[in-house]
Structures are given as structure tokens and as C-alpha cells.
């Protein structure tokens, strides 16, 4: 567990310019801690070719954010801490920090996400409540996005057993406004989680990031009802990209709210008609059965940071990497072969170039040139 000084240093590192999730992880691994990484940032950015001095978040800024979290009843959890959700730590890259309001122990239990239409049908509501209650009784924590419709029904039906609401804004910001009572109930009996700081008002572009967290926290995502162009399908796509199971409940071909789910099934999602179908499909991973909950070791084991001696690098190595990169994303394995650099050396060069704003990280070990 981090002490107060380490937690402050981690937060400053995350809030500094050009430090995204991948670079945060690389910095911690390389320097063995956030304090040393903060001291090295200016030199790393300079070596990467930055012409301007990199902005490093101040101690006062980080202290103010943590004070707001305390007032909101939220706890920050970093990837380098034992309490970080193991399933979320397994995605690439995981958010360096999440804020949790409520029961943080729920984050370590097996979870299933249920998402769907905001304009759900009566049958959709009923089926969602049945699925959520059955999955909760089997030992799953039910994860959703606190939106209108299917999300709200899933939270309500699993509130007594354990539910997690993933929000796009700060954990203390209620959205939509009519869910104030549900938000408060989940914070009291379940958990509200966000990668945004307390007080942050959500924007449209923040919801895909929220959807990635929903998928990342769960072993699988269940899509109950979704129109052809529903935002729910974004969550399903993200779940598939990070290796999670995607389940879809079929609907009548003439119902617009079933177009998205039926399309998912055509494209390879697992068709389910009962919660037991999901429990059976995930049993090899979780060990859970309809009869009850049996604690099992999680297969999602985050890799602890390891400090290692840095290889000797020069400007020619950095120039070779930039020359090999272009505007199209390139995977790091191909880049290592093209430059002849070891994975460790290449990682350091990419970290420097990222801090200098000269490359773009695309996830899935893909990078491209930014200048």
C-alpha cells in the first residue's frame, strides 16, 4: 500500500503533461517509483526532443485534488497498489488511477457487466432485473453505467448483493440528475467508480472511456437491448477488443431495440436467453455456479513494477526510432526489429518521445509519429 507521500507523487505524475497510462506504467517500472520519475521528467522530455519545458503537476495541485476526494468520500486507488481491481489491471493499458466511493472490496470480486438501451421495453426491464438478480445470487458483482433504462434496472436488482456504477464524471457528480437517489444508494451499499477526479463534469467524449472501464472490470458484458446505432454497442466492441466475453440477448426482428443485439449475435457474440447461460459459460474462469459463491483465485494478476538498470542510449537511437515511425500506427515488436533496439531500450526511447509529445500511443502496443 502506498503511503501519503507516494500517493501524492503518483498523482502528480499522472497529472503532468504527456504522461498517459502507458508512459505512467513505463516510468514507474523504469524508476521504481513516482518520486524518482518526477525528478527525471524534464531530462527525459529534453532527450526526447521537446523544445519547451514539460509542465509537472505541483504538490499543491495534487493536494487539492486529494482534499476534494476526501470531502466527496472517495478513495484513490493506483495501479501500483494491491487494492486496484485485478481485472482492470489486466487490460492494456489500465487507467493509472481510479476513484472509488463505497465498498472497494467489490472491485476484487468476479464481475459481470449488464448494459443496454436507455429507452428499454417493459420486457427488457423485466429480463434485466431477472438476469441481474440471478447473477448476483451466484456471486457476481453486477457492473453498469448508471444510465437510464437497462443500466438503472441492473443496478437496482443487484444492489443488495453488490453492484458497481462506473461514471463518466467524478464519483460525486450525479448524472443523469434523476438518478440521485440511486447514486446515493450505490455509494452506500455498493461502489461508484471513475477515472476522473471528484468534481469533474462529464462531457460527451468521456463516455467511451467510461464504457472501457465497464468492460475492463468484468469477465463479460451482457447486452440486453440495443438499437442499431446504440452507444451500448461501443461497450460491446471495447469488451471484444480487450478479450472479454460478449453476450447478447436476442429480440424480435421487428423491434428496433433488438437490431443491435441481433447484429452482435450474427457477428459472433454468444447468444443467451437466461442468466444460467452466462454462469455456465464463465464457470471455467470464475468457478461460480448458480447454487452460490465460491471464492476462487483470479486469473487477472497484475504484474508488479520492477526496476532495472537503464541501457545506454544516444541521439542516434532516438533518431532511428523516429525514422522508422510514420503517421500509421506501428506495433512495438515490428519497431524493435526495424531499429535493432532491445525491448527495454525501445521502451525508454518511446517514453522519452511520448513525454516530448512526438509520438501517439494508440493502445494494443501501437505507436505512430506525431510530428
Q: Rounded CA gap, 128 and 133, in Å?
A: 8
Q: Rounded CA gap, 279 and 290, in Å?
A: 7
> Is the pLDDT at 302 greater than 70, yes or no?
no
> Is the pLDDT at 164 greater than 80, yes or no?
yes
What confidence score (pLDDT) does residue 31 get?
92
Q: What is the 3-state secondary structure (H, E, C) of 293-362?
A: CCCCCCCCCCCCCCCCCCCCCCHHHHHHHHHHCCCCCEEHHHHHHHHCCCHHHHHHHHHHHHHCCCEEEE
> Looking at residues 182-194, what average pLDDT do you find?
97
The pLDDT confidence band at residue 309, using thresholds 50, 70 and 90, is: low
- Among 68, 96, 65, which residue's Cα sits nearest to residue 81? 96
Report helix, strand or coil for 98: strand
What confidence score (pLDDT) does residue 337 get?
85
- Among 230, 219, 224, 30, which residue's Cα sits nearest to residue 143? 219
What confidence score (pLDDT) does residue 306 get?
45
What confidence score (pLDDT) does residue 305 get?
44
> Is the pLDDT at 307 greater than 60, yes or no?
no
Q: Rounded CA gap, 46 and 350, in Å?
A: 13
Q: Within 13 A of 68's CA, how many CA atoms are on the CB side?
A: 15
Q: Dihedrals φ, ψ of 152, to 5°?
A: -60, -40
Domains belonging to the chain, first-starting first, are 4-57+311-369 (1.10.10.10), 88-286 (3.40.50.450)
Q: Rounded CA gap, 138 and 135, in Å?
A: 5
pLDDT tens track for 135-154: 999 999 999 999 999 999 99
DSSP 160-222: TT-EEEE-SS-TT--SSGGGHHHHHHHHHHSEEEESSPTTPPP-GGGHHHHHHHHHHHSSEEE
CB atoms within 10 A of CB 267: 12
pLDDT tens track for 29-43: 999 999 999 999 999
> Is the pLDDT at 301 greater than 60, yes or no?
no
- Among 321, 356, 352, 369, which residue's Cα sits nearest to residue 26? 352
Q: Dihedrals φ, ψ of 267, to 5°?
A: -90, 5
pLDDT tens track for 339-356: 888 888 888 888 889 988
| Mean pLDDT for all residues in the chain | 90
- My answer on whether omega of the bond before 93 falls inside 30° of 0, hence cis, is yes
What confidence score (pLDDT) does residue 12 get?
96
What confidence score (pLDDT) does residue 344 get?
86
Q: Rounded CA gap, 261 and 267, in Å?
A: 10
The pLDDT confidence band at residue 76, using thresholds 50, 70 and 90, is: very high
Task: For residue 5, give the H/E element and its range.
Answer: helix 4-15
The pLDDT confidence band at residue 272, using thresholds 50, 70 and 90, is: very high
Q: Which residues pair with 111 in a beta bridge?
A: 141
> Looking at residues 7-21, what average pLDDT do you find?
94
Q: Within 13 A of 312's CA, how many CA atoms are on the CB side?
A: 0
* Cα 229–chain centre separation: 23
Report helix, strand or coil for 58: coil
> Looking at residues 83-102, what average pLDDT do you find?
93
> Looking at residues 273-284, what average pLDDT do you find?
95
- Among 112, 100, 81, 109, which residue's Cα sits nearest to residue 195? 100
What confidence score (pLDDT) does residue 310 get?
61
What confidence score (pLDDT) does residue 294 get?
42
What confidence score (pLDDT) does residue 117 get?
92
The pLDDT confidence band at residue 7, using thresholds 50, 70 and 90, is: very high
CB atoms within 10 A of CB 32: 14
> Is the pLDDT at 75 greater than 90, yes or no?
yes
Dihedral in degrees, nearest 10, Cα atoms 230, 231, 233, 237 = 150
> pTM of this prediction?
0.83
Higher pLDDT, 332 or 68: 68
> Is the pLDDT at 209 greater than 80, yes or no?
yes
Residues with Cβ within 8 Å of residue 3, at least 6 apart in sequence: none
Amino acid at each position: 500500500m502506498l503511503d501519503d507521500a507516494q500517493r501524492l507523487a503518483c498523482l502528480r505524475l499522472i497529472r503532468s503533461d504527456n504522461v498517459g497510462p502507458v508512459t505512467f506504467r513505463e516510468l514507474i517500472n523504469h524508476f521504481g517509483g513516482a518520486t524518482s520519475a518526477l525528478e527525471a521528467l524534464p531530462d527525459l522530455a529534453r532527450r526526447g526532443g521537446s523544445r519547451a519545458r514539460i509542465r509537472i503537476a505541483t504538490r499543491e495541485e495534487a493536494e487539492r485534488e486529494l482534499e476534494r476526494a476526501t470531502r466527496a468520500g472517495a478513495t484513490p486507488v493506483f495501479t501500483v497498489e494491491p487494492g486496484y481491481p485485478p481485472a482492470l489491471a489486466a487490460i492494456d493499458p489500465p487507467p493509472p488511477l481510479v476513484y472509488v466511493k463505497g465498498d472497494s472490496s467489490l472491485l476484487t470480486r468476479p464481475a459481470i457487466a449488464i448494459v443496454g438501451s436507455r429507452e428499454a421495453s417493459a420486457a427488457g426491464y423485466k429480463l434485466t432485473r431477472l438476469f441481474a438478480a440471478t447473477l448476483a445470487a451466484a456471486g457476481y458483482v453486477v457492473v453498469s453505467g448508471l444510465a437510464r433504462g437497462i443500466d438503472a434496472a441492473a443496478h437496482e436488482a443487484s444492489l443488495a448483493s453488490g453492484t458497481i456504477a462506473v461514471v463518466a464524471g467524478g464519483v460525486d457528480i450525479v448524472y443523469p440528475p434523476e438518478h440521485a437517489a440511486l447514486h446515493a444508494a450505490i455509494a452506500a451499499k455498493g461502489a461508484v467508480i471513475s477515472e476522473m477526479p471528484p468534481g469533474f463534469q462529464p462531457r460527451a467524449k468521456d463516455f467511451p472511456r467510461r464504457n472501457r472501464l465497464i468492460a475492463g472490470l468484468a469477465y463479460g458484458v451482457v447486452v440486453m437491448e440495443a438499437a442499431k446505432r446504440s452507444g451500448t454497442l461501443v461497450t460491446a466492441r471495447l469488451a471484444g477488443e480487450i478479450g472479454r466475453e460478449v453476450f447478447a440477448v436476442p429480440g424480435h426482428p421487428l423491434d428496433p431495440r433488438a437490431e443491435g443485439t441481433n447484429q452482435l449475435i450474427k457477428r459472433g457474440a454468444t447468444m443467451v436467453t437466461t442468466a444460467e447461460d452466462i454462469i455456465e459459460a464463465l464457470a471455467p474462469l470464475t468457478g461460480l455456479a448458480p447454487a452460490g459463491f465460491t471464492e476462487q483465485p483470479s486469473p487477472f494478476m497484475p504484474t508488479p513494477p520492477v526496476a532495472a538498470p537503464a541501457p545506454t542510449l544516444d541521439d542516434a537511437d532516438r533518431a532511428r526510432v523516429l525514422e522508422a515511425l510514420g503517421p500509421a500506427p506501428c506495433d512495438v515488436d515490428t519497431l524493435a526489429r526495424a531499429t535493432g533496439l532491445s525491448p527495454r531500450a525501445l521502451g525508454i526511447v518511446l517514453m522519452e518521445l511520448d513525454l516530448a509529445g512526438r509520438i501517439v500511443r494508440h493502445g494494443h502496443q501501437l505507436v505512430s509519429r506525431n510530428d
